[in-house]
Structure 1
Amino acid sequence: MMHTAPPVTVLGLGLMGGALAGAFLRAGHPTTVWNRTSAKADDLVARGATLAESPAAAIAAAPLVVVCVSDYDAVMNVLEGPLDDRVVVNLTSGTPSRARELAEEVVRRGGGYLDGGVMAVPEAVGTADAVLAYSGPRSLYDAQKSALGSLGTGLHLGDDPGLSATHEMATLVLMWSMLDGFLNGAAILGSAGVSATAYLPVARTAIDMVAGWLPGYARQADDGVYPADDGTVNTHLTAMRQVVEESEVLGVNSELPRLVMALAERAATAGHGGSGYVALVEQFRKR
């Protein structure tokens, strides 16, 4: 087979790592892979990948090295041998400080470093629906943008290699809050004999409505001005107290609405009772 796409290496073949290697193969990249348990490479090898006998051999096989393993300690363990003229793209979840440390180590050893995160399930990797966020030198990202485009839609967040991990932390908090809110709501409705499935149309409408508020809320958070266009913190507090009280009457867990109420009460105590809901951002900015 004649290859026109540049060669790549993928270290780590878990669910996501295997999906990344598969996407490179489908896009025509000669793909070298390595995994601690080599049997995980069998399907990829059958599809044309080359299995390296060690991480160092895999790194030597291609100028672009994509790493997707369990944590940053594992990343350090697999980055064996020289990294001269190699661009390491780390798609392993971790903290911003560790991303910066790893970037310094890779540069010290002669390579370039991009940190990243995959905002998609493995099945979506290789399609436009998969969004992959990267941080690190823009010049490195631009040089690898075509190859990385084989994985999905790329988004460069900035030159600081820690920005990808910081965005991932912020996004995880957002995701967990939405999921916990849905599950808490499902528990409240379950006490009335309403199934979580029956709740879906209303829940989706509410999520879409809140998503529509975000552009205006983002501007207010950036400007530090919180007009009460859609109700004051005190108005929200009245509804929050009702949710807490009724949750206890129904016999369902009230911890989440109590936490939400406590944050709003702090905002009101700080003088924002008459402000809009975005004033709560000041509570999240504190320790």
Structure 2
Amino acid sequence: MAMPAGLPIVDTLIGFPHEGFDQYDFIRKQTKDKGSQESEFPVEYMFKEVPKDLPTHDPVSVTLYEMDRYGIEIGLVSVADEATAFALKNHPDRFIPCGSLRDPNDVSGSVRAVRQAYEEYGIRALGAFPAGTFPQVAIDDPKMYPIYQTCVDLNIPIFCTAGIAGPRVKSAVQEVSRIDAVMFDFPDLVFVTRHGCEPWEELAVKLMLKWPNLYYSTTAFVPRYYPKAIIDYANTRGADKIIYGGYFPMGLTLERIFTDMEHVPFKDTVWPKFLSENARRVLRLDG
């Protein structure tokens, strides 16, 4: 049941070292507590040994080096900056593009932006962070519906943060129960949760049993903290539904993730699906 060696891995949340921490300004402007306002990384209270001191002169090479160390064949990266554009152009076999939903309050602008990213980069997915929008837009808010339909039209999944938000902002917009209505209204939408779904992980399992196109990714979690309900589900009826995702370099090192991964009690038959096959199917990497 230990993690087998040599399996090619698809990481559904990876990025590149970034100079400074201005990429988190959109979170800080929403927080009110002193700790969040003064911290470089607004959720640092949740993580140990955040990789802050990585070299930034060649960020793509840094990430590729770490990927090679731990057997990551392909990484899903957000089309947010020059490093991503460089990586996609020069290493198309290692990186696949993911769009970012910036402001769903601007419905028309968001739909246009998703379609533009699809035409320009060929994005294979869209990322969403409901608690990080300002004003916040809930998972089941009507403003999200044109965006969901756009994902269906383009045949791309949406990776959406669900559960209590890490930053000290309100979390009601990410309640897992909200996903039920979305899946009812968009049966063809492929919806992948990010960041744990806690404390509603058991509800997430119930909803995955109910909805064929609902999945769960393990982003932003050290493997020892994968919820028991998710491990049990993967080992029984949910082997096709649980997808690996990391959090490098935002909050975790790959060394910490994969050193800890060896202790996750997945069945032998689950590992290939968890580390690669499920992501390849959802992202249509094999056509």
Length-normalised TM-score, structure 2: 0.29
Which has more helix, going by share of residues? 1
**TM-score relative to the length of structure 1:** 0.29
Q: Tell me which structure has the larger Cα radius of gyration.
A: 1
Kindly indicate whether structure 1 or structure 2 has the higher relative contact order, using CA contacts under 8 Å at least 6 residues apart.
2
